Amino acid sequence: MSDFLLWSSWWIPFYGLLGALFTLPWSLGIIRRSGPRPAAYINLVMTAIAFFHGSFAFWHSWGHPPQQLIFQWLQVADLNLTLTIQQSPISLGALELVAGISLLVQIYALGYLEKDWSLARFYGLMGLFEAALSGIAISDSLLLSYGLLEILTLSTYLLVGFWYAQPLVVTAARDAFLTKRVGDIILLMGLVALSSDGAGLSFSQLETWAATAPLPPGSAALLGLALIAGPTGKCAQFPLNLWLDEAMEGPNPAGIMRNSIVVAAGAYVLIQLQPVFTLSPVSSDALILIGTVTAIGASLMAIAQIDIKRTLSHATSAYLGLVFIAVGLGHVDIALLLLFSHAIAKALLFMSIGAVILGTSTQNITEMGGLGRKLPATTTAFVIGAAGQVALLPLGMFWTLKRWLSGTWLIPPWLLIVLCFVNALGALNLTRVFRLVFLGPTQLKTRRVAAALWPMAIPMWLLTIVVLLAPSVPLNWRFWLSRQAPLADVGQWTTAWGLLLLVAAGLLGCWLGFALELQRAAARPTQKSLRFLQDLLAYDFYIARVYDFTVVWLVSATSSLAAWCDRYVIDGAVNLVGLATIFGGNTLKYNASGQSQFYILTILLGVALLLWLVFNGDWDLLFDAWRSLAAH
């Protein structure tokens, strides 16, 4: 029985897909009398089956070597396309994380979207979302992973635009879709190039191929950059990071998934592509540069936001930037631990702020206050999630970063500075949000706030327990991957001193968050320098404006030029031919005299003109040809 559950784990993504299909009668309005709730219950049952099936498969995968299931899809001449499934503790553990958070989020959504008229459509989209994420978790095929990433992009577009009656929501969904498409198209180019260079379309084959890859430096660099582009968009990294901020216009349950495991899916694919990045230092340096810029920039953006969901979404980009740095340095184990620790802590944070948003009907943290006394369970969940997000004892992120600084890997000094900076600003941001939302005097919109509904409270409590138990993963972590990290010479920037600086940075951020004076009103600083700095961070370094004056302007100018050419050049040429035909017809109709000798003369002149054109006006050549024919 256990072997059957392990072998059939490839079927787990289809549970979510079946749940999405079963909701169609309610989503399409075919069944109205029962209301949309049965559709939600069907998806919950299918997700629960996926979770328990995955749990048994994960449990029985221990002690077994990784297994592959290969499905032949297309074989034509030399083209052989297969879809490969990987069954290992890593892949099944990722599958369990997806199924577990998805199950809690769907229970949570029963309370958050209790009165929404399109509940069935939401659960259908969540089923599709879950199916794509589960498939990415166990996929060992680049081709299959790319197709699932495309489904994920479509699902993101539909879930962000769930409340499509609002113009801002439509704009956010469009921007999220187009931003991801930019990275996906470049990623597809990289996959085609990778397959053309002799690599099998399988992640497990990349390491062997990379060891003997006969690629010149330029091709290796371009290949690595192309493969980086897709995860850059999926993980909301600079310069494709603004879509995650705008995607917060969608429902909060979808935001929980998006900020915890959806962005992690792109990073998971990036981790599996890591052997390709070793072929060129350009690729590794690009990963480190993108991750560093995003980690620092997004941390600064987060502390200037007043929308409670946007403060956390920018922090998501910052911590995913650390994952990019880890992959660029070749520390794949740390990248996986960062994904795990961040996902569960960020899911708990979004669940807690969802209860706040539902109770106060606002997302502006300057309009909140005094909720700690009114919502003790929500406050506890936020505090534990925040502690799990930064490197504070005794929760998971502390042990994850401690393992990074343990001396197992070469840690350059600048990395410790980046880690301390991100940890300090992350602690400052979460402390600031905690003070404005849960502490201080009661505000106008927080006078009457009810406790979270039980469908929202139960997932928060369960996930709080999971966050408290999360340190057991980095503490008992073993090198599950076949790639072994090189042992480093323990230096002054690692071990105890590095960890001490990291913890000190987190405590400094917490102290600043409590010590700095926070403005609840919409007042702006009177000093021009502070006002400029506030606007610079609050408006995301004006990246959207830069896009407007560069990419958007270039596309608009190109479109205008193409429209002008289509209207005046192409259409003008077609219209000129039509006018010439009409004019010629109207002119020739006056030559229809009805006299046969006139028609014969016209035919002779036409034939003579045609022959003159054929022989380029050389009449002697024409006469010689005529004599030759007559002689024969």
Res 378 pLDDT > 50: yes
pLDDT per position as a tens digit, 328-349 = 988 888 888 899 989 999 999 9
pLDDT per position as a tens digit, 619-628 = 566 666 666 6
pLDDT at 482: 40
Residue 481 pLDDT grade (very low, low, confident, very high; cuts 50, 70, 90): very low
Q: Counting Cβ atoms within 10 Å, is residue 154 exposed (0-12), middle (13-18) or buried (19+)?
A: middle
pLDDT per position as a tens digit, 21-48 = 999 888 888 888 878 888 899 999 999 9
pLDDT at 409: 67
Contact status, residue 24 vs residue 145, Cβ threshold 8 Å: no
In the chain, where the domains are located: 1-140, 141-538, 539-592, 593-632
Residue 430 pLDDT grade (very low, low, confident, very high; cuts 50, 70, 90): very high
Q: Which two tokens stand for residue 406?
A: 């343990």
Distances (CA, A) of 444 to 357, 367, 370: 14, 7, 11
pLDDT at 484: 41
Among 28-37, 248-257, 308-317, name the one with the lowest average pLDDT.
Answer: 28-37
Instruction: Tell which phi-psi region holds residue 247, choosing left (phi > 0), alpha (psi between -120 and 50) or beta.
Output: alpha
Res 159 pLDDT > 60: yes
Distances (CA, A) of 506 to 419, 431, 479: 10, 11, 28
pLDDT at 411: 79
Percent of the chain with pLDDT over 90: 19
Residue 480 pLDDT grade (very low, low, confident, very high; cuts 50, 70, 90): very low
Res 420 pLDDT > 70: yes
Residue 183 pLDDT grade (very low, low, confident, very high; cuts 50, 70, 90): confident
How many other CB atoms are found less than 10 A from the CB of residue 131?
28
pLDDT per position as a tens digit, 484-506 = 444 444 444 456 777 888 888 88
pLDDT per position as a tens digit, 567-601 = 888 888 888 888 888 887 777 666 666 667 667 77
The alpha-helical segments, DSSP class H, found in 330-375 are: 332-360, 371-374
Q: Which two tokens stand for residue 21?
A: 């299909």
Residue 632 pLDDT grade (very low, low, confident, very high; cuts 50, 70, 90): low
pLDDT at 624: 66
pLDDT per position as a tens digit, 192-220 = 888 776 656 788 888 888 877 778 888 88
Res 367 pLDDT > 70: yes
Rounded to the nearest integer, the mean pLDDT of the chain is: 83
